[in-house]
Chains A and B, each alone.
Chain A
């Protein structure tokens, strides 16, 4: 991060910097890392944690209300509660030995073995016959995996301070660009990599790649608003919805209107809505802006849901045309793309084509953002993010600056929306709930505000990781009746909390202003409180 080795500590220059430096110091050296470990304290903490878990779970894990003839009935599941409490106790013990304290190896081994044994026991408990051994093995494997991850995290955070002490100065070099270029090349060849490596599941993986790429694009679009201009927008999904509905309505009402003609129109309409919604609210700041954008997102969803004649209400719009390639469809016939190119027809072609559309759209978003950052308007955004009062004092028209950020962010949201509509072929207001906005914002913040690569990293981790849960069908063979899909949003939420607590500044943290006067400041921009919007 930006802590350099200058003689003057940042705390003497800027109080905000001091606060963040303290935070960094705290993060760099886990406060309790040098604590001596003793079993008594650890056991007491674990017991407290287990007690709290018991209280929290009492009405939720221990009991369950269900509808039955004659009213609600309660079923009791004390065993589940007991297992959960035991798991929390041992889990806390594990954290005490691995993360919070520098515990001796013996303590770690004991805590680890206890944890593994407990998971194995819980998994195998009450299972008839031959399955028991299987379950025991799976449980032990799972427990061992968790312990291994904790061990790695502990090892990582111990050597982290040395690794963190690097400063990014000067113009970007090839070395600093390398990760981006490598990622770009991988993404550019991804459909072919997938078709070669996983010929059986190519459709599924390309679909996943398309989904991740859509979120990358949305993340980059929102990054303009939140990351660059520092405006907290909780209603970004509104523009996504405007784009999707514009395209769907245009293409279903006008015969001649295909994807490529509707796409720019959808983007322009979304940008227009960005201006309409942005104009009255942009004098608000910080959290007021957040709540009003959230409200606008909800308003648009409610209108889409209830304006039955125009939007089809909850039934949505179906029969949205697929994108064409130079006016040709991806069909088997004589006039299809496959026949034109002289290759054998395959259903996968359309997905590869869709992937490249969203890939190119995303890259355009990225390029435009990177170029805009170097133009006066981009510099004004960054200045606005750092200090609005200073901006106004320097004669920057803050309203216009905010509006352009809002409109351009909205436009990319609109592009992504019309892509979503054409990919699905069907849209309904359900796809544009607040949760969607929250996921996009989470991707931007988890990736590291203002960082383009961070958005990619966060999309792959969050969206890819969660969607992978759909593919673990083998779990069902071991645990009949256990459906991991049910748990994906729970895991998503926990991951959001865990990543944020672990790395409050996001996975990739580079947030230097693009423009520098003479020399870089001693305090990097990412040490100043960010996203304040004033």
Chain B
């Protein structure tokens, strides 16, 4: 029971990170119907920016008060990563707007290769370790088994991750449902041509979608950096594939679906590693995806597609 609870907490933490990345995928898919393959690498870019800013603040400028440092890191990472997201869209996707469906997919894969190798060349191929910054936690429960005592612990880091995710998700949901930008976005999602006839600047809306997706991914990058303490230029691929899996699992195009999918993928992965084998945790996540899609082709919360003739 204690072991289960601990795994549940770990799974929710990991799932939050996947969920934050998955939102970028699901929004872009909803609005222009393409898989933004470079999104996982945007997440990686975010975590590299966060690492550099963190080092600048702590070891160069000598700030020591961690909450302020973290806040600045998150804000700077969001701003700069958003710029990356915008540029990727501007360079690789906008010229292909209205082209056939595979064209932006290929440029997205190309962009993903470019980003990975750019970071590898400029920052080196070796992993960057960052010693744990936030230690300690709250002991929730203490139980004893035949092997000794098991402590269920909710670390401060996990609290920060889950709280940040909740705050961002709330803010984001409000942004989509209450502001004119959100309205424009939902309009573009339903019918781009009609939206442009009604005066919505479609290109600007799509750009902002990429900007928001990148900003959320960069927060995920910060969290990943703080949670695992090790990043390299390749982390974007697997995280990206998992997050896309999460988006599809939740029903692509649906924002709560992306979050739910992210949590589920995180839980599956953690429970599989906890109870079965660590090596096959990716296999488990992908198999669940295949099974869900076979029985529920539009995902958990997605609307079934209507076939138009």
Binding site for B on A (CB under 8 A): 19-20, 22-23, 52, 55-56, 58-61, 63-67, 71-74, 226, 232, 280-281, 283-284, 286-288, 290-292, 294-296, 298-299, 302-303, 305-306, 389, 434-435, 438, 441-442, 445-446, 449, 486-487, 489-490, 492-497, 500-501, 504-505, 529-532, 534
Contacts and interface: CB of A to CB of B under 8 A. Distances in A.
B128 A72 contact: yes
6 interchain residue pairs of minimum CB distance: A496-B110, A493-B113, A493-B114, A295-B286, A490-B117, A504-B99
B60 interface: yes
Contact of A65 (B95, B96, B117, B128): B128
B48 to A, nearest CB: 7
B103 interface: yes
Interface string B191-222: 00000000000000000000000000000000
A67 B128 contact: yes
A496 B121 contact: no
Contacts of A58: 80
A71 B60 CA distance: 13
14 contacts: A56-B87, A291-B35, A296-B290, A299-B286, A389-B309, A434-B237, A438-B109, A489-B113, A492-B110, A492-B113, A496-B113, A497-B92, A501-B96, A531-B100
Nearest to A438: B109
A532 B100 CA distance: 9
Contacts of A283: 294, 297
Nearest to A488: B117
A302 B129 contact: no
Given A281-B294, A529-B100, A287 B35 contact: yes
B52 interface: yes
Contacts of A67: 126, 128-129
B98 A22 contact: yes
B122 A72 contact: no
B111 interface: yes
B123 interface: yes
Contact of A288 (B130, B287, B293): B293
Contacts of B107: 496-497, 500-501
Interface string B219-263: 000000000000000000100010011001000100000000000
Interface in B41-71: 48-49, 51-53, 55-56, 59-60
Interface stretch (B164-172, B178-186, B267-275, B277-285): B277-285
Given A291-B35, A291-B248, 20 more contacts: A56-B87, A59-B48, A65-B55, A71-B59, A72-B51, A72-B59, A287-B33, A291-B245, A291-B289, A295-B286, A299-B283, A303-B280, A445-B102, A487-B117, A489-B116, A490-B121, A493-B110, A496-B113, A497-B107, A497-B110
A67 B305 CA distance: 50
Contact of B123 (A65, A71, A449): A65
Contacts of B309: 389
Contacts of A306: 279-280
Contact of B110 (A74, A302, A500, A530): A500
A63 B52 contact: yes
Contacts of A71: 59, 131
Contacts of A495: 110
A298 B116 CA distance: 19
A59 B49 contact: yes
A358 B112 CA distance: 31
A435 B234 CA distance: 12
Contacts of B287: 299
A438 B293 CA distance: 23
Interface of B: 29, 33, 35, 48-49, 51-53, 55-56, 59-60, 80, 83-84, 87, 91-92, 95-96, 98-103, 105-107, 109-114, 116-119, 121-124, 126, 128-131, 237, 241, 244-245, 248, 252, 279-280, 282-283, 286-287, 289-290, 293-294, 297, 307, 309
Contact of B289 (A65, A295, A389, A446): A295
Q: Is the interface of B mostly helix, strand, loop or mixed?
A: helix
B87 A500 contact: no
Contacts of B114: 490, 493-494, 497
B86 to A, nearest CB: 8
Given A56-B84, A290-B35, A65 B101 contact: no
Nearest to B122: A60
A65 B52 contact: yes
Contacts of A531: 100-102
Nearest to A490: B117
A41 B129 CA distance: 45
Contacts of A441: 106, 109
Contacts of A65: 51-52, 55, 123, 128
Contacts of A497: 91-92, 107, 110-111, 114
A60 B142 CA distance: 46
A410 B23 CA distance: 34
A49 to B, nearest CB: 10
Contacts of B102: 226, 232, 445, 449, 530-531
Contacts of B289: 291-292, 295
A534 B121 contact: no
A284 B282 contact: no
A434 to B, nearest CB: 7
Nearest to B60: A74
A280 B100 contact: no
Contacts of B128: 65, 67, 72
Contacts of A64: 122-124
Contacts of A487: 117, 121
Nearest to B294: A280
A506 B51 CA distance: 40
Nearest to B125: A486
Contacts of A302: 279-280, 282-283
A489 B115 CA distance: 10
B286 A60 contact: no
Contact of B113 (A73, A286, A435): A435
Contacts of A284: 293-294, 297
A64 B96 CA distance: 34
A446 B29 CA distance: 22
Given A283-B297, A487-B121, A496 B96 contact: no
Contacts of A438: 109, 113
